[in-house]
Each structure stands twice: as structure tokens, then as C-alpha cells.
Structure 1
Amino acid sequence: MFLTSLVARLPLPSRTVQKSVGIAAVVAQAGIGVTGSVVRVTGSGLGCRTWPQCQPGSMVPVEHPEYAGLHQWIEFGNRLITGVVIVVAALAVITAWRLAIDQPHRRRLVALAWTMPAGVVLQAVVGGMTVLAKLEWWTVAIHFLVSTPLIWLAVLLLHAFTEGDDKPRWLVPPIARGLLVTLVVAMWAILIAGTTVTGAGPHGGDPETHRLDAPIETLAQIHGGLLVVYLLVLTMFGLALLRGNAPKRLWKRYSAVWIVALAQGALGSVQYALGVPEALVSLHVLGSALVIVSTAALWCASRDRGVAGERGVASADREELTATG
């Protein structure tokens, strides 16, 4: 295959390059959500009133009597940032592809890498629907929620670059594994509930867009209540870890989740008390991304897939070989 032979001519990516590409994927997937929130809170969601063009007949902002130039450029700038995400996604695929040419068994790494450009295409389609639907609150919610599994997958991709392809060997007791799954479900429930609060809130992306007709106080209480559930499950997960011999790395990831989740909860409370100021909205979106990243990192630290580049030699087997040899 021509493309395969072309990629094979590239130098084998170093561990530093692999890690850098993985980190870039996480930053890109999380960052595009934050920049999207800037578009929303500044009321620039319809600065470019069509898609894929900005204004009918023009791909770039043009002088228009109904659409302020600043709003056009904010929305257009967010579309340009999508180009950065595309470049990072392409680098992820090429890096994983080059590694798989020398290590054909790394199919999982390649599959994870391909989710990055696939996610860009999906987000472009959903983003276009959002604009064409005049920023109806539920389309904005879908646009945000589509980005959340992409952030999760980017974290898995980062770890896939640095770990092996063995069958996962869980480092936590069975009860802790069940609690970890529950924690992930609770996390996504919080994110979904958060979109309803946003849908009923004052920042719709455009002054004329329809808002969710529901009491925001009730929606905020549900959102906050789900965070309490998340923290309770996180507490039980920590207690379950005490029953096993969890590695130090796992405890560090666990502590990081607590720090991020508590900071996000405090930020949400302050945001609500101050009447949802624009700057705090974008910080809260950033906090949501960090909750996903930290929870995904905790998930990855809870199991062992061996060492990158080695196949079929689990950590326990390597330790036994080291002890006897």
C-alpha cells in the first residue's frame, strides 16, 4: 500500500515524541471545548450565520449590518482552531501507524489514534447542525457532550503510547473495579445535567436563541447532587483501595481526582452565587475537561497492560523473571 510505504520511511518516533503527541491530543480535545464556551458566553455563536461558510458567499468574516465584526471573528477563530485539532489528530494517526509498522500487534494503539480524526469529523457535522439549528439549547448540549468521550479517548491514547498491549491486569480489588465503573457513569451524569443548567442559563450563544424552559435552581440542585454522588463513590473507591496493595502511582491519580473535583465543585458554587459571569463559565468548562482527564487517568492507572514494545509479558511475569534471573 502506497501510504503504508510512505509512512514506513519516516523515522521511528521516540518515546518523547509519542508522549508529546499524546499530550497534544488531550490538550486539543479539551481545548476546543473551552474555546467553544468563549464563543457561547460572548454571544458569538451566530457570528458566522452559516456553515461551512462564515457568511453566505464567503468563508471568512465580512462586513455585515446585522452581525458585529468582533462576533464574526470570535466564531471564525474557533473554527480555525479546529484546524489545529485536525493537525494533532493527523499526527496521532501517523505516529501510531509508524509504530504499528514495526510492531504489528499494536492494533489497539492505531484504533485509538483513528478516533481522533473521526471525532473531528463528527464534531464538524454536529457543529454545522448546531449553527443551522440557530443554537437551539439541545444542539449545543449535544455538541459539548460529543467532545467528552473524545477527551477520554485522548487520555487512553496517551497511555497507549507508553504502555503495552497485554490483556488488562487490574491492580484493584473487584469491588473497587465496580466502584470505578460507577464513578465513570456518575461523571457522565454530572456532565449531562450540567448541559441542562447551561441550556436554561443566560449564555445561549446568541440573544435570540431559545432557552430550556425549566427552573434553573432545580436543575442546578440536580447537577450539584450528582457531584455529591460522584464524591461519595470516589470515597468508597478509596476505601476499597485500602483493602488491596495499590501502587503509589494509583494513589497519586486518586488524589488528583479529589483536587480537581473539589475545585470544580467550588467553582460551580461561586459561579452560581455570582450570577454566572462569563469568565467563570469558560473556567467551569475547563474544569469539566480536567475532571474527565483526571478520571480517565485514574482508570488507566488501575490496570496494567505491560510495557510498550513488549507483547505477552505481563508485569507480574516480568517481576518473576527478574526475581529468578
Structure 2
Amino acid sequence: MPLKSLVARLPYPSPAVQRVLAIAAVITQGGIGVTGSIVRVTGSGLGCPTWPQCFPGSMFPVEHPELSAVTQWIEFGNRLLTGLVIVVAGLCVLAAWRIQLDQPSRRRLVALAWTMPLGVVAQAVIGGMTVLTGLLWWTVAIHFLASTPLVWLAFMLLRAFREGDERPRWLIEPLGRKLMVALVALLGAVLVAGTVVTGAGPHGGDPDTPRLDAPIDLLAKVHGGLLVAFLVVLAVLGLNFSRTGVPSPLWRRYTVLWVLALAQGGLGSLQYALGIPEALVSFHVLGSALVIVATAALWCATRDRGPVPARTPEPAPVLATAD
């Protein structure tokens, strides 16, 4: 039986199911970055020294004189979480595909859903490269940065379940559009700079991992400076909103982004002042995921793609009958 026929037999996902699946995608895509940071700050990055197996000949941790069981299971647990991410991603694809069978115009929804499992596969390959190269700082940076667009796309998928597929219509004036684009670009720059600071910092994922030989004080100032630029653009964007007038939902998302960005900046300053304690590093990674989601929410609120198309169920197959 063709796969399309099997998907057509699935119940049509209700709006509540669609929302739960998309929110689960956002949480798992952001959460895998947080658990990865826990692996890094606890020095468990090589708890499983091979990939895709944990040890040669075993997919699971085995007793090893040079590795503690805790270290092994922290790294192995992070790998197991990838399985949950794959399950959620697969369910998102099935839900989107089932919807498209009744609403053929929802091609964008299906395309966004497919970015979830494809992104997991890409992350698994990058993760393998990270382990096999001994956690070189730039491979760890790529591993984290690869997860950031997936968090963004997961939120876009959440939005796509609740909107149409018309050509996006901006709800703000041209200057506001340029400021929004600049804001997103600066967010990317802040994230990249943050991974460079991490590369020169003390938490490499393994005590013997070589670090980036660069002055961390200077790197931290560049990272902080980019965040200040992000906040300045955000402030100018708010002035533009006040001058031109925007819907109240957009103002709410704008306010949430301000709160999260300020909190993230304060947390970064605190962890630097305290000597980069392990727990604050993971909270900072969580904060970055929240800022990505809040920025994506603001971006989506500035554009309109029309209402969700009406559902037109495919006709049931006609069974042949004898004369």
C-alpha cells in the first residue's frame, strides 16, 4: 500500500494536536542545545568516545577505568534525547502531510515540517564529527549553531499550523521591515560571537580538549557589544512602532523580546563576573533559545499570510460492486 494511502487513513489532527506537536518541536529543538551544554560543562563530551556507537562494539556505556559512569551516562543520555527529537519531528511530518491531503495548498506547511527530521539528521552527522575530532572548539560551535535555525524553523512551523500560505503581507512600514531584518541579522551575529567566546572559555567538553587561543576578555566584549547593538535596533524598532501604530499582539511580542534579551544580557554579565560557573552556562544556552523563539514570534507578528484554508476532505475510494 502506498505511503500516501497509509497517511490518509490517519485521523485528521485537531488544532489542539497540531499545536501540541509544534510546541513539542520547539521545546525539543531548543532542549537538545541545553542538554548539549550540560555535556560540555560537566566534561562529559567524550563519555562515549566513538560514534555512532558509544564504545567500539557497544551502543551503550561500558565500564572503563579512565571514565566515570556518570560522565558516560550524561553523554549517552544526550544521545538518547536525540531519539525523542526524531519522534517529535516525525509526528510533525505526519500531521502536516495528513493536513495537506485535505488542503493541497498547504505545501509550505509540509516543507517546514520536513526541516525537523532533516535537521536532526544533519545534527547527528555534525555531532559525530565533533566526537571523532576530539571536541575541537569550532566543531562544537558548529554543532550548537546548527541547532539555532532549527529552533527558529520549529516556531515557524507552529505559526504555519495556524495561518494560510498566501504571499506574506507586511503589517509594518518599510523602515520597520529593514529594522526587523537588521534585528535578525544581529541575533545571528550575537550567537556566532557567543560560540567563539565559549571556544576560548574553560568548558570544552573534556579536560584535555584544546581551547581557542584568543583573549577571552576581548571576545566577551565583542559578544556584549553585538548584544548592545541588538538592543539599540530593538529600541529604534519600538520607536518606529509607536510612530506608525501596530496591532496590540505585535506590541506584546515586542515586550516579551525586550524582557528576555535584557535577562539574557544580565545573565551573561553575571556568569562572566563569577568566572563562568557551569550551571549559569546552561541557563545562558536556554536563554539563547528563548530569545530566538521570541525574535521569531516578533518576526511572524509583522507579517500576515491569510487565514487557514478551508478543509476539503479527499473523497473516500469507491468500492467496486457486482452487477
Q: Does 1:225 align with 2:228?
A: no
Give 1:244 shift. Answer: 2.2
Q: Does 1:160 align with 2:160?
A: yes
Q: Does 1:7 align with 2:10?
A: no
Name the counterpart of 1:257.
Answer: 257
Q: How do 1:164-243 residues align onto structure 2 when only pairs under 5 Å count?
A: 164-243=164-243
Distance 1:68 1:171 in 2: 56
Name the counterpart of 2:298.
Answer: 298
Q: How do 1:62-81 residues align onto structure 2 when only pairs under 5 Å count?
A: 62-81=62-81
Distance 2:54 2:11 in 1: 40
Distance 2:176 2:241 in 1: 7
| TM-score scaled by length of structure 1 | 0.95
| TM-score scaled by length of structure 2 | 0.95
Q: Residue deviations 1:124-174, cap 9 Å, x none?
A: 000000000000000000000000000010010000001111111111111
Q: Residue deviations 1:238-272, cap 9 Å, x none?
A: 11112323111000000000000000000000000
Name the counterpart of 2:59.
Answer: 59
4+ long deviations beyond 4 Å: none
Distance 1:208 1:71 in 2: 14
CA contact (8 A) 1:189 1:226 kept: yes
CA contact (8 A) 2:41 2:205 kept: yes
Name the counterpart of 1:321.
Answer: none
Distance 2:186 2:67 in 1: 40
Name the counterpart of 2:319.
Answer: none
Identical positions, percent = 69
The one-letter code matched in structure 2 to 1:169 is: R
Name the counterpart of 2:314.
Answer: none
Name the counterpart of 2:50.
Answer: 50
Distance 1:288 1:245 in 2: 29
Distance 2:73 2:228 in 1: 39
Q: How do 1:96-175 residues align onto structure 2 when only pairs under 5 Å count?
A: 96-175=96-175
Structure 1 unmatched runs, 5+: 312-325
SS of corresponding position for 1:242: helix
Instruction: Please identify, of 288-297 and 241-250, the stretch whose mean Cα deviation from structure 2 is larger.
Output: 241-250
Give 1:287 shift. Answer: 0.3
The one-letter code matched in structure 1 to 2:278 is: E
Name the counterpart of 1:276.
Answer: 276
Distance 2:196 2:49 in 1: 24
Q: How many pairs align?
A: 311
SS of corresponding position for 2:108: helix
Distance 1:213 1:245 in 2: 49
Give 1:306 shift. Answer: 1.2
Give 1:310 shift. Answer: 4.6
Name the counterpart of 1:35.
Answer: 35
SS of corresponding position for 1:307: coil
Give 1:237 shift. Answer: 0.8
Q: Residue deviations 1:12-42, cap 9 Å, x none?
A: 1111011111101100100000000000000
CA contact (8 A) 1:164 1:310 kept: no
SS of corresponding position for 2:33: helix
Distance 1:259 1:225 in 2: 18
Give 1:123 shift. Answer: 0.1
CA contact (8 A) 1:126 1:143 kept: yes
SS of corresponding position for 1:213: coil
Distance 1:91 1:8 in 2: 14
CA contact (8 A) 2:103 2:310 kept: no
The one-letter code matched in structure 1 to 2:3 is: L
Distance 2:239 2:245 in 1: 12
Distance 1:169 1:246 in 2: 14
